[in-house]
Chain A
Amino acid sequence: MKKRRNFIFYFLIFLMVLQGINVKLCAQSLQQKITVEMKNQPLKYGLDQIGKLSGFRMNYSIPAVSAYQNINLSKELRTVAATLNLLLTNTNLTYNVDNDKIIIVSKPESRSQLNGMVASVLQNNQAYGVVTDLENNPLAGVSVRLKDTEIGAFTDVDGKFTFSLPAEKTNFVLVFTFIGMKTQEVLWSDKIQNIVMEENINFLEDVIVTGIFKKKKSSYTGAVKVISDEDLDMFRGRNIFTTIKNIDPSFNIIENNNWGADPNRLPEIQIRGAGNLPALNQLQEQTSSGLNTPLIILNGFETTLQRMMDLNDQEISSISILKDGAATSLYGSRGANGIIVITTKEPEVGKLRMSVRSEINVSLPDLTSYDLLNSRDKLELERLSGYYESTTKDAAANILLQQYYNKVLAEVAKGVNTDWLAKPLRTGLDQTHNLKLEGGDRIFQYALTAQYKDVQGVMKGSGRSTFNGGIDLAYRHKKLLFRNYLSVGNTTTAESPFGSFSKYAELNPYWKPYDENGKLMRFFSPYEQNFLMQTGDVRFNGPYPNPMYDATLNTYNTTETTSIINNFSIEWKPLEELFFRGSAAITNDITNSDNFKPAKHSDFAGYSDADLFRKGSYAYSSGKTFNYAISLSANYSKLIAEKHSLFAGVNFDVTQNKGYSYNILAEGFPDESIDFLGMAFQYQNNSGPTGSESTIRRIGVLGNANYVYDNRFLVDISYRIDGASLYGANNRFAPFWSAGTGWNLHNEPFIKNNLKFVDRLKVRISYGTTGSQNFNAYQSRATYRYYMNDRYNMWMGAYQIALGNEDLEWQKRNKLNVGVEVGIFDSRFVLEADIYKEKTSNLLSNLELPYSNGFSEFTENIGKLENSGFELSGTYWILRNTKRRLTWSLSGSISHDRDRIVELSEALRTANERLALQGGSSPNRIFREGDSQSTIYVVQSLGIDPSTGRELFLTKDGEVTYTWNAADRVAVGNLLPKLRGNFSTMFRYKDFSLNLSFGYRSGGQIYNSTLRDKVEVNNKLLNVDARVFTERWKQPGDKAFFKGINEYSMAVATSRFVQDENTFTCQNASLRYDAKAKKWLDAIGAQYLAITASTGELFYLSTVKRERGTGYPYTRQFLLSLSLMF
Chain B
Amino acid sequence: MKKIIFAITLLLSSLLYTGCSDWLDVRPQSEIPKDNLFETENGFRSALTGAYIRLKGGSLYGSALMWGDIEYMACNWYNTSSSNTTITQLQNCDYTNAGVISKIDAIYENLYKVIADVNSILEVIDSKKSVFSQGGYEMIKGEALTIRAFAHFDVLRLFGPVPNNVGESVLFPYVTEVTKDIHNAMTYQEYSQAIINDLDMASTLLKTVDPIMTYSIADLKDLTGGDFISDDNYIGYRNIRMNYYASVALKARVCLWLSASDAGNKVKAAQCAQEVIDAKDHTGTPTFRLGVEADRVAGDYTFSAEHIMTLSVYNLNTTAQNLFGETGPYVRYDFNVTDGFYYLNNLFPVAERVSDIRWINMWSYRTASGQTQYVMYKKFIQNVDEYKRILQVPILRLSEMYLVLAECAETKTDAETVYKAFCDKKGIPFTGFSSADWVTDRRNKILREYVREFYAEGQTFFTYKRLNVTSLPTMWTPGVSFSGSAAKYVAPKPLREIEYHNK
Residues of chain A at the chain B interface (Cβ within 8 Å)? 660, 691-699, 723-725, 729, 732-733, 777-778, 781-787, 790-801, 803-805, 847-856, 858
* Least Cβ–Cβ distance between A806 and chain B, in angstroms: 10
**Beyond A723-B24, A850-B497, A851-B105, is A798–B32 a contact (Cβ under 8 Å)?**
yes
Surface stretch bound by A, among B139-147, B175-183, B327-335: B175-183
Closest 5 CB pairs of A and B: A854-B116, A797-B49, A797-B50, A783-B31, A798-B46
**Sampled A-B contacts (29; CB under 8 Å):** A699-B20, A724-B24, A732-B21, A778-B26, A781-B31, A783-B32, A783-B33, A784-B31, A792-B49, A793-B312, A795-B46, A795-B49, A797-B48, A797-B53, A798-B37, A798-B50, A799-B50, A800-B117, A801-B31, A849-B180, A850-B182, A850-B183, A850-B496, A851-B108, A853-B178, A853-B182, A854-B112, A854-B113, A855-B116
A787-B47 Cα distance, complex, nearest whole Å: 10
**Beyond A797-B46, A851-B494, A855-B116, is A725–B26 a contact (Cβ under 8 Å)?**
yes
Chain A residues whose CB sits within 8 angstroms of the CB of B25 once the complex forms: 725, 729
- Is B370 part of the contact surface with A, judged by Cβ < 8 Å? no
| Chain B CB within 10 A, most for which of A725, A781, A786 | A781
B314 touches A851 (CB 8 A): no
A785-B233 Cα distance, complex, nearest whole Å: 22
- Is B34 part of the contact surface with A, judged by Cβ < 8 Å? yes
A794 touches B180 (CB 8 A): no
A660 touches B29 (CB 8 A): yes
Q: Is the interface of B mostly helix, strand, loop or mixed?
A: helix
A845-B24 Cα distance, complex, nearest whole Å: 23
A699-B172 Cα distance, complex, nearest whole Å: 45
B37 touches A784 (CB 8 A): yes
- Is B492 part of the contact surface with A, judged by Cβ < 8 Å? no
Residues of chain B at the chain A interface (Cβ within 8 Å)? 17, 20-21, 23-34, 37, 43, 45-54, 56, 105, 108-109, 112-113, 115-117, 119-120, 172-173, 175, 178-180, 182-183, 233-234, 237, 240, 312, 314, 494, 496-497, 499-501
Q: How many A-B residue pairs have CB under 8 A?
A: 159
Chain A residues whose CB sits within 8 angstroms of the CB of B179 once the complex forms: 853
A798 touches B47 (CB 8 A): yes
**Beyond A778-B31, A787-B50, A795-B234, is A732–B24 a contact (Cβ under 8 Å)?**
yes
* Least Cβ–Cβ distance between B254 and chain A, in angstroms: 20
Chain B residues whose CB sits within 8 angstroms of the CB of A692 once the complex forms: 30
**A784-B47, A784-B50 given. 16 additional CB < 8 A pairs?**
A695-B27, A732-B21, A781-B33, A783-B32, A790-B53, A793-B312, A793-B314, A797-B52, A798-B50, A800-B120, A800-B178, A803-B178, A851-B112, A853-B175, A853-B183, A854-B117
B34 touches A783 (CB 8 A): yes
B28 touches A778 (CB 8 A): yes
| Chain B CB within 10 A, most for which of A799, A803, A849, A855 | A799
- Identify A852's interface contact among B32, B112, B233, B234, CB under 8 A: B112
B112 touches A777 (CB 8 A): no
A855-B233 Cα distance, complex, nearest whole Å: 31
Chain B residues whose CB sits within 8 angstroms of the CB of A784 once the complex forms: 31-34, 37, 46-47, 50
A855-B54 Cα distance, complex, nearest whole Å: 14
A695 touches B108 (CB 8 A): no
- Identify A786's interface contact among B46, B54, B496, CB under 8 A: B46
- Identify A794's interface contact among B20, B46, B48, B233, CB under 8 A: B233
**Beyond A693-B28, A785-B30, is A796–B49 a contact (Cβ under 8 Å)?**
yes
Chain A residues whose CB sits within 8 angstroms of the CB of B52 once the complex forms: 792, 797
B49 touches A853 (CB 8 A): no
Chain B residues whose CB sits within 8 angstroms of the CB of A782 once the complex forms: 33-34
A852-B175 Cα distance, complex, nearest whole Å: 7
Chain A residues whose CB sits within 8 angstroms of the CB of B47 once the complex forms: 784, 797-798
Chain A residues whose CB sits within 8 angstroms of the CB of B49 once the complex forms: 791-792, 795-798
* Least Cβ–Cβ distance between A698 and chain B, in angstroms: 8
Chain B residue at minimum C-beta to C-beta distance from A856: B109
* Least Cβ–Cβ distance between A690 and chain B, in angstroms: 10
| Chain A CB within 10 A, most for which of B31, B47, B48, B120 | B31
A804-B178 Cα distance, complex, nearest whole Å: 10
Chain A residues whose CB sits within 8 angstroms of the CB of B175 once the complex forms: 852-854
Chain B residue at minimum C-beta to C-beta distance from A906: B499
B31 touches A792 (CB 8 A): no
Chain A residues whose CB sits within 8 angstroms of the CB of B172 once the complex forms: 852
Chain A residues whose CB sits within 8 angstroms of the CB of B20 once the complex forms: 699, 723, 732-733
Chain B residues whose CB sits within 8 angstroms of the CB of A801 once the complex forms: 31
Chain B residue at minimum C-beta to C-beta distance from A860: B180
| Chain B CB within 10 A, most for which of A691, A698, A798, A804 | A798
A695 touches B28 (CB 8 A): yes
Chain B residues whose CB sits within 8 angstroms of the CB of A848 once the complex forms: 496
A243-B46 Cα distance, complex, nearest whole Å: 55
A1123-B327 Cα distance, complex, nearest whole Å: 76
* Least Cβ–Cβ distance between B175 and chain A, in angstroms: 6
**Beyond A778-B31, A784-B47, A787-B53, is A792–B312 a contact (Cβ under 8 Å)?**
yes
Chain A residues whose CB sits within 8 angstroms of the CB of B494 once the complex forms: 850-851
A805-B26 Cα distance, complex, nearest whole Å: 15
Chain B residues whose CB sits within 8 angstroms of the CB of A796 once the complex forms: 46, 49
**Beyond A729-B25, A792-B312, is A851–B496 a contact (Cβ under 8 Å)?**
yes
Chain A residue at minimum C-beta to C-beta distance from B181: A853
A856-B37 Cα distance, complex, nearest whole Å: 22
Chain B residues whose CB sits within 8 angstroms of the CB of A781 once the complex forms: 28, 31, 33-34
**Beyond A724-B24, A796-B46, is A785–B53 a contact (Cβ under 8 Å)?**
no
A800 touches B116 (CB 8 A): yes
* Least Cβ–Cβ distance between A18 and chain B, in angstroms: 65
Chain B residues whose CB sits within 8 angstroms of the CB of A853 once the complex forms: 112, 116, 175, 178-180, 182-183
A854 touches B115 (CB 8 A): yes
* Least Cβ–Cβ distance between B233 and chain A, in angstroms: 6
A97-B318 Cα distance, complex, nearest whole Å: 108
Chain A residue at minimum C-beta to C-beta distance from B118: A854
A796-B49 Cα distance, complex, nearest whole Å: 7
**Beyond A792-B49, A793-B314, A853-B112, is A695–B183 a contact (Cβ under 8 Å)?**
no
* Least Cβ–Cβ distance between A789 and chain B, in angstroms: 10
Chain A residues whose CB sits within 8 angstroms of the CB of B108 once the complex forms: 851
A852 touches B21 (CB 8 A): no
Chain A residues whose CB sits within 8 angstroms of the CB of B29 once the complex forms: 660, 693, 695
Chain A residues whose CB sits within 8 angstroms of the CB of B119 once the complex forms: 854
Chain A residues whose CB sits within 8 angstroms of the CB of B182 once the complex forms: 850, 853
* Least Cβ–Cβ distance between A860 and chain B, in angstroms: 8
* Least Cβ–Cβ distance between A862 and chain B, in angstroms: 13
A803-B112 Cα distance, complex, nearest whole Å: 14
* Least Cβ–Cβ distance between B63 and chain A, in angstroms: 14
